[in-house]
Protein backbone atom coordinates (compact mmCIF):
# COMPACT_ATOMS: atom_id res chain seq x y z
CA UNK A 1 0.00 0.00 0.00
CA UNK A 2 1.12 3.54 -0.64
CA UNK A 3 1.67 5.19 2.68
CA UNK A 4 2.27 8.86 3.26
CA UNK A 5 4.31 9.75 6.30
CA UNK A 6 5.13 13.12 7.81
CA UNK A 7 7.85 13.81 10.38
CA UNK A 8 7.43 17.14 12.17
CA UNK A 9 11.14 17.68 12.98
CA UNK A 10 14.51 16.62 11.66
CA UNK A 11 15.48 13.41 13.50
CA UNK A 12 18.64 11.27 13.55
CA UNK A 13 19.47 10.14 10.01
CA UNK A 14 19.27 6.34 10.36
CA UNK A 15 15.61 6.50 11.33
CA UNK A 16 14.71 8.93 8.56
CA UNK A 17 16.53 6.79 5.99
CA UNK A 18 14.76 3.70 7.30
CA UNK A 19 11.32 5.31 7.14
CA UNK A 20 11.99 6.74 3.69
CA UNK A 21 12.88 3.26 2.45
CA UNK A 22 9.64 1.80 3.79
CA UNK A 23 6.99 4.20 2.56
CA UNK A 24 6.00 5.78 -0.73
CA UNK A 25 5.66 9.38 0.32
CA UNK A 26 7.77 10.91 3.02
CA UNK A 27 7.99 14.49 4.24
CA UNK A 28 10.17 16.01 6.96
CA UNK A 29 9.82 19.55 8.27
CA UNK A 30 12.98 21.03 6.74
CA UNK A 31 13.28 23.82 9.30
CA UNK A 32 14.91 23.45 12.66
CA UNK A 33 11.95 24.77 14.60
CA UNK A 34 8.60 23.53 15.86
CA UNK A 35 5.63 23.97 13.56
CA UNK A 36 2.87 26.33 14.65
CA UNK A 37 -0.51 24.62 15.22
CA UNK A 38 -1.82 25.81 11.85
CA UNK A 39 1.36 24.76 10.02
CA UNK A 40 1.13 21.39 11.72
CA UNK A 41 -2.49 20.90 10.66
CA UNK A 42 -1.59 21.90 7.09
CA UNK A 43 1.54 19.73 6.83
CA UNK A 44 -0.09 16.52 7.94
CA UNK A 45 -3.01 16.76 5.50
CA UNK A 46 -3.49 13.49 3.66
CA UNK A 47 -0.88 11.63 5.75
CA UNK A 48 -1.42 8.12 7.07
CA UNK A 49 1.09 8.44 9.88
CA UNK A 50 2.93 11.24 11.67
CA UNK A 51 6.06 11.20 13.79
CA UNK A 52 5.59 14.14 16.17
CA UNK A 53 7.56 15.64 19.04
CA UNK A 54 6.69 17.01 22.46
CA UNK A 55 6.41 20.50 20.95
CA UNK A 56 3.49 19.44 18.75
CA UNK A 57 0.11 19.84 20.43
CA UNK A 58 -2.06 17.07 19.08
CA UNK A 59 -5.55 18.10 20.16
CA UNK A 60 -9.09 17.69 18.86
CA UNK A 61 -8.66 20.42 16.25
CA UNK A 62 -5.52 18.84 14.80
CA UNK A 63 -7.15 15.40 14.83
CA UNK A 64 -10.19 16.80 13.01
CA UNK A 65 -8.04 18.66 10.50
CA UNK A 66 -6.22 15.47 9.53
CA UNK A 67 -8.75 12.62 9.52
CA UNK A 68 -6.54 10.37 7.37
CA UNK A 69 -3.87 10.04 10.07
CA UNK A 70 -4.05 6.64 11.75
CA UNK A 71 -1.08 7.04 14.06
CA UNK A 72 0.84 9.74 15.86
CA UNK A 73 4.17 8.24 16.89
CA UNK A 74 5.43 10.59 19.61
CA UNK A 75 9.20 10.98 19.72
CA UNK A 76 9.24 11.01 23.54
CA UNK A 77 8.26 8.83 26.44
CA UNK A 78 5.96 11.54 27.84
CA UNK A 79 2.80 12.21 25.80
CA UNK A 80 1.14 15.07 27.68
CA UNK A 81 1.30 17.01 24.39
CA UNK A 82 -1.37 14.69 22.98
CA UNK A 83 -5.05 14.60 23.89
CA UNK A 84 -5.14 10.81 24.16
CA UNK A 85 -8.89 10.47 24.93
CA UNK A 86 -9.72 12.50 21.80
CA UNK A 87 -7.38 10.32 19.72
CA UNK A 88 -8.89 7.16 21.20
CA UNK A 89 -12.41 8.39 20.39
CA UNK A 90 -11.32 8.70 16.75
CA UNK A 91 -9.47 5.33 16.86
CA UNK A 92 -6.16 7.05 16.16
CA UNK A 93 -3.17 5.18 17.60
CA UNK A 94 -0.75 7.03 19.89
CA UNK A 95 2.67 5.54 20.55
CA UNK A 96 5.67 6.66 22.63
CA UNK A 97 9.32 5.68 23.17
CA UNK A 98 9.68 4.19 26.65
CA UNK A 99 12.74 2.38 27.94
CA UNK A 100 15.37 3.51 25.43
CA UNK A 101 15.81 6.90 27.09
CA UNK A 102 15.69 5.72 30.70
CA UNK A 103 19.44 5.61 31.34
CA UNK A 104 20.25 8.83 29.49
CA UNK A 105 17.59 10.71 31.44
CA UNK A 106 18.64 9.18 34.75
CA UNK A 107 22.25 10.13 34.01
CA UNK A 108 21.21 13.71 33.34
CA UNK A 109 19.23 13.89 36.58
CA UNK A 110 22.45 12.97 38.36
CA UNK A 111 24.43 15.51 36.35
CA UNK A 112 22.01 18.16 37.63
CA UNK A 113 22.18 16.81 41.16
CA UNK A 114 25.98 16.97 41.21
CA UNK A 115 26.07 20.34 39.49
CA UNK A 116 23.56 21.87 41.91
CA UNK A 117 25.09 20.28 45.03
CA UNK A 118 28.68 21.20 44.20
CA UNK A 119 27.92 24.51 42.49
CA UNK A 120 29.68 23.39 39.34
CA UNK A 121 28.15 25.94 36.97
CA UNK A 122 28.65 28.89 39.33
CA UNK A 123 32.26 27.89 39.92
CA UNK A 124 32.91 27.45 36.21
CA UNK A 125 31.58 30.96 35.51
CA UNK A 126 33.81 32.31 38.31
CA UNK A 127 36.89 30.75 36.69
CA UNK A 128 36.05 32.07 33.26
CA UNK A 129 35.61 35.59 34.61
CA UNK A 130 39.19 35.40 35.91
CA UNK A 131 38.10 35.70 39.52
CA UNK A 132 40.05 32.76 40.94
CA UNK A 133 42.90 34.16 43.02
CA UNK A 134 44.01 30.92 44.63
CA UNK A 135 42.64 28.18 46.83
CA UNK A 136 40.46 29.43 49.62
CA UNK A 137 38.95 27.62 52.61
CA UNK A 138 35.51 29.08 52.08
CA UNK A 139 35.30 29.09 48.30
CA UNK A 140 32.16 27.51 46.81
CA UNK A 141 31.18 25.33 49.70
CA UNK A 142 28.40 23.04 48.56
CA UNK A 143 26.42 20.07 49.85
CA UNK A 144 27.57 16.55 50.64
CA UNK A 145 26.03 13.83 48.48
CA UNK A 146 27.43 10.51 49.68
CA UNK A 147 25.49 8.97 52.53
CA UNK A 148 22.57 11.40 52.38
CA UNK A 149 18.91 10.87 51.58
CA UNK A 150 17.52 10.85 48.04
CA UNK A 151 13.77 11.15 47.53
CA UNK A 152 12.37 9.94 44.21
CA UNK A 153 8.96 11.31 43.24
CA UNK A 154 7.50 8.84 40.75
CA UNK A 155 9.30 5.52 40.62
CA UNK A 156 8.63 4.30 37.08
CA UNK A 157 11.46 3.33 34.80
CA UNK A 158 13.38 6.59 35.06
CA UNK A 159 12.81 7.18 38.77
CA UNK A 160 13.95 3.64 39.48
CA UNK A 161 17.08 4.10 37.36
CA UNK A 162 17.91 7.31 39.23
CA UNK A 163 17.43 5.54 42.56
CA UNK A 164 19.59 2.56 41.56
CA UNK A 165 22.50 4.91 40.85
CA UNK A 166 22.28 6.15 44.45
CA UNK A 167 23.68 2.82 45.61
CA UNK A 168 27.14 3.93 44.46
CA UNK A 169 26.85 6.89 46.84
CA UNK A 170 25.62 4.85 49.79
CA UNK A 171 22.50 6.94 49.98
CA UNK A 172 19.27 6.24 51.77
CA UNK A 173 16.54 6.11 49.14
CA UNK A 174 12.92 7.06 49.70
CA UNK A 175 10.29 7.05 47.01
CA UNK A 176 6.74 8.19 46.58
CA UNK A 177 4.86 6.60 43.74
CA UNK A 178 1.15 6.81 43.14
CA UNK A 179 1.13 4.24 40.40
CA UNK A 180 3.24 1.33 41.51
CA UNK A 181 5.82 -0.17 43.78
CA UNK A 182 9.35 -0.33 42.46
CA UNK A 183 10.53 -3.76 43.47
CA UNK A 184 13.92 -3.23 41.84
CA UNK A 185 14.50 -0.11 43.90
CA UNK A 186 13.46 -1.79 47.14
CA UNK A 187 15.58 -4.84 46.45
CA UNK A 188 18.72 -3.06 45.25
CA UNK A 189 18.82 -0.02 47.50
CA UNK A 190 16.53 -0.97 50.40
CA UNK A 191 14.42 1.98 49.29
CA UNK A 192 11.33 2.71 51.34
CA UNK A 193 8.05 3.71 49.76
CA UNK A 194 6.65 6.62 51.76
CA UNK A 195 3.95 9.27 51.44
CA UNK A 196 5.01 12.39 49.55
CA UNK A 197 4.86 14.51 52.74
CA UNK A 198 7.33 12.26 54.50
CA UNK A 199 9.62 12.18 51.47
CA UNK A 200 9.63 16.00 51.36
CA UNK A 201 10.47 16.31 55.05
CA UNK A 202 13.21 13.67 55.05
CA UNK A 203 15.07 14.08 51.77
CA UNK A 204 18.24 16.07 51.10
CA UNK A 205 17.73 15.63 47.35
CA UNK A 206 14.33 15.37 45.71
CA UNK A 207 14.17 14.24 42.10
CA UNK A 208 10.94 14.35 40.09
CA UNK A 209 10.12 11.52 37.65
CA UNK A 210 6.34 11.51 37.36
CA UNK A 211 4.40 11.90 34.13
CA UNK A 212 2.51 15.19 33.71
CA UNK A 213 -1.21 14.59 34.17
CA UNK A 214 -4.07 16.54 35.78
CA UNK A 215 -3.11 14.85 39.04
CA UNK A 216 0.57 15.77 38.95
CA UNK A 217 0.16 19.42 37.88
CA UNK A 218 1.89 21.43 40.67
CA UNK A 219 2.40 18.24 42.65
CA UNK A 220 5.40 20.14 44.01
CA UNK A 221 3.66 23.41 44.87
CA UNK A 222 4.18 26.02 47.54
CA UNK A 223 2.94 23.82 50.44
CA UNK A 224 5.22 20.98 49.33
CA UNK A 225 8.26 23.25 49.02
CA UNK A 226 7.45 24.54 52.51
CA UNK A 227 7.87 21.03 53.87
CA UNK A 228 11.35 20.53 52.44
CA UNK A 229 14.49 20.72 54.55
CA UNK A 230 16.28 24.09 54.51
CA UNK A 231 19.22 22.54 52.66
CA UNK A 232 17.11 20.57 50.20
CA UNK A 233 17.97 20.42 46.50
CA UNK A 234 15.19 19.84 43.96
CA UNK A 235 15.85 18.21 40.59
CA UNK A 236 13.28 18.11 37.78
CA UNK A 237 13.93 16.23 34.56
CA UNK A 238 10.27 15.19 34.05
CA UNK A 239 7.88 17.97 33.03
CA UNK A 240 7.96 21.63 34.09
CA UNK A 241 4.32 22.04 35.23
CA UNK A 242 4.75 19.35 37.90
CA UNK A 243 6.62 22.02 39.89
CA UNK A 244 5.12 25.43 40.71
CA UNK A 245 8.02 27.38 39.22
CA UNK A 246 7.00 30.74 40.73
CA UNK A 247 6.98 29.18 44.19
CA UNK A 248 10.34 27.58 43.44
CA UNK A 249 11.86 30.93 42.40
CA UNK A 250 10.76 32.42 45.72
CA UNK A 251 12.11 29.50 47.72
CA UNK A 252 15.47 29.66 45.95
CA UNK A 253 15.71 33.42 46.26
CA UNK A 254 14.99 33.38 50.00
CA UNK A 255 17.27 30.32 50.41
CA UNK A 256 14.30 28.49 51.88
CA UNK A 257 15.83 25.58 49.98
CA UNK A 258 19.45 25.38 48.88
CA UNK A 259 19.35 24.82 45.14
CA UNK A 260 17.61 23.32 42.16
CA UNK A 261 18.53 21.64 38.90
CA UNK A 262 15.98 21.93 36.10
CA UNK A 263 15.86 20.41 32.63
CA UNK A 264 12.19 21.32 32.12
CA UNK A 265 10.12 24.47 32.72
CA UNK A 266 6.54 25.32 33.39
CA UNK A 267 6.17 27.59 30.34
CA UNK A 268 8.84 25.92 28.27
CA UNK A 269 10.89 27.26 26.56
CA UNK A 270 10.43 30.36 28.77
CA UNK A 271 11.66 30.53 32.35
CA UNK A 272 9.58 32.20 35.06
CA UNK A 273 10.72 35.74 35.92
CA UNK A 274 13.72 35.77 38.18
CA UNK A 275 14.78 32.16 37.70
CA UNK A 276 17.71 32.91 35.40
CA UNK A 277 19.05 35.54 37.82
CA UNK A 278 19.48 33.07 40.68
CA UNK A 279 22.94 31.63 41.27
CA UNK A 280 21.59 28.54 43.03
CA UNK A 281 19.82 26.96 40.10
CA UNK A 282 21.25 25.01 37.18
CA UNK A 283 19.09 25.24 34.08
CA UNK A 284 19.30 23.03 30.99
CA UNK A 285 17.31 23.18 27.72
CA UNK A 286 15.33 19.90 28.03
CA UNK A 287 18.20 17.58 27.08
CA UNK A 288 17.38 14.55 29.27
CA UNK A 289 17.41 12.10 26.39
CA UNK A 290 19.86 14.07 24.25
CA UNK A 291 22.63 11.64 23.46
CA UNK A 292 23.38 10.49 19.93
CA UNK A 293 22.71 6.86 20.78
CA UNK A 294 19.51 7.49 22.71
CA UNK A 295 17.97 9.88 20.22
CA UNK A 296 18.77 7.45 17.40
CA UNK A 297 17.10 4.59 19.29
CA UNK A 298 14.08 6.78 20.03
CA UNK A 299 13.73 7.68 16.37
CA UNK A 300 13.95 4.04 15.27
CA UNK A 301 11.38 3.11 17.87
CA UNK A 302 9.00 5.84 16.69
CA UNK A 303 9.49 4.69 13.08
CA UNK A 304 8.78 1.07 14.00
CA UNK A 305 5.68 2.01 15.95
CA UNK A 306 4.38 4.06 13.06
CA UNK A 307 5.02 1.36 10.45
CA UNK A 308 3.39 -1.31 12.60
CA UNK A 309 0.14 0.66 12.73
CA UNK A 310 0.18 1.38 9.00
CA UNK A 311 0.69 -2.33 8.30
CA UNK A 312 -2.19 -3.30 10.52
CA UNK A 313 -0.09 -4.72 13.37
CA UNK A 314 -0.14 -3.85 17.02
CA UNK A 315 2.68 -1.35 17.58
CA UNK A 316 5.15 -2.26 20.34
CA UNK A 317 4.49 0.92 22.35
CA UNK A 318 0.81 1.65 22.02
CA UNK A 319 -0.37 4.23 24.56
CA UNK A 320 -4.10 3.74 23.90
CA UNK A 321 -4.75 -0.02 23.48
CA UNK A 322 -8.47 0.80 23.90
CA UNK A 323 -8.59 1.54 20.17
CA UNK A 324 -8.09 -2.17 19.49
CA UNK A 325 -11.18 -3.24 21.40
CA UNK A 326 -13.48 -0.23 21.33
Question: Of the two residues 98 and 315, which places its CB atom closer to ligand GLV in the complex?
Answer: 98
* Residue 162 engages ligand GLV in binding (rule: CB under 6 A): no
Per-position DSSP letters for 220-287, written without gaps between them: B-HHHHHHS-TT-EEEE-S-GGGB-HHHHHHHHHTTSS-EEEES--TBTTB--TTGGG-TTEEE--S-
- 201 contacts 215 by C-beta, under 8 angstroms: no
Range in contact with ligand GLV (rule: CB under 6 A) among 40-48, 94-102, 270-278, 299-307: 94-102
Q: Measuring CA to CA, how many Å separate 248 from each of 135, 153, 201?
A: 32, 16, 16
Q: Shortest gap between Cβ of 264 and ligand GLV (angstroms)? A: 7
Q: Any bridge partners for residue 150, and if so which?
A: 173, 205
Range in contact with ligand GLV (rule: CB under 6 A) among 3-11, 13-21, 71-79, 240-248: 71-79
Per-position DSSP letters for 151-220, written without gaps between them: EEES-SHHHHHHHHHGGGGT-EEEEE-SS---HHHHHHH--EE--HHHHHHH-SEEEE-PPP-TTTTTSB
Q: Shortest gap between Cβ of 125 and ligand GLV (angstroms)? A: 27
Q: Is 86 a catalytic residue?
A: no
Catalytic residue among 165, 286, 295, 297: 286
* Residue 54 engages ligand GLV in binding (rule: CB under 6 A): yes
- How is residue 181 annotated by DSSP? -
* Residue 295 engages ligand GLV in binding (rule: CB under 6 A): no
Q: Any bridge partners for residue 148, and if so which?
A: none
Range in contact with ligand GLV (rule: CB under 6 A) among 72-80, 121-129, 138-146, 303-311: 72-80
Q: Out of 151, 159, 240, 315, name the contact with ligand GLV by CB under 6 A.
A: 159
d(C-alpha 67, C-alpha 44), whole Å: 10
Q: Out of 70, 148, 157, 295, name the contact with ligand GLV by CB under 6 A.
A: 157
Range in contact with ligand GLV (rule: CB under 6 A) among 17-25, 64-72, 74-82, 110-118: 74-82
Catalytic residue among 148, 239, 295, 297: 239
Q: Is 165 a catalytic residue?
A: no
Q: Helix, strand or coil for residue 92?
A: coil
* Residue 288 engages ligand GLV in binding (rule: CB under 6 A): yes
* Residue 241 engages ligand GLV in binding (rule: CB under 6 A): no
* Residue 209 engages ligand GLV in binding (rule: CB under 6 A): yes
Q: Residue of minimal CB distance from ligand GLV?
A: 156
Q: Is 268 a catalytic residue?
A: yes
Per-position DSSP letters for 9-45, written without gaps between them: S---HHHHHHHHHH-SEEEE--SSSPPPHHHHHHHTT
d(C-alpha 68, C-alpha 164), whole Å: 44
How many C-beta atoms surround the C-beta of residue 1 within 10 A? Answer: 8
Q: Shortest gap between Cβ of 220 and ligand GLV (angstroms)? A: 16
Catalytic residue numbers, as ranges: 239, 268, 286
Query: For binding to ligand GLV (CB under 6 A), which residues are involved?
Result: 54, 76-78, 98, 101-102, 156-159, 209, 288-289
Amino acid sequence: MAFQVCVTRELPRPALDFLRSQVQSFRVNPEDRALTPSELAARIQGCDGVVCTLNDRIDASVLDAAPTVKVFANYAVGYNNIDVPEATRRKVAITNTPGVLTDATADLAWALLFAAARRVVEADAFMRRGRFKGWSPMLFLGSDITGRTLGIVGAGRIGTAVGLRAKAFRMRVLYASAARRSEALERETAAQRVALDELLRESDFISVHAPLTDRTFHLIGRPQIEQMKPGAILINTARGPIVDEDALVEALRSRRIAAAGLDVFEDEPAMKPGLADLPNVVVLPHIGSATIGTRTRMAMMAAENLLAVLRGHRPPNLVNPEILTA
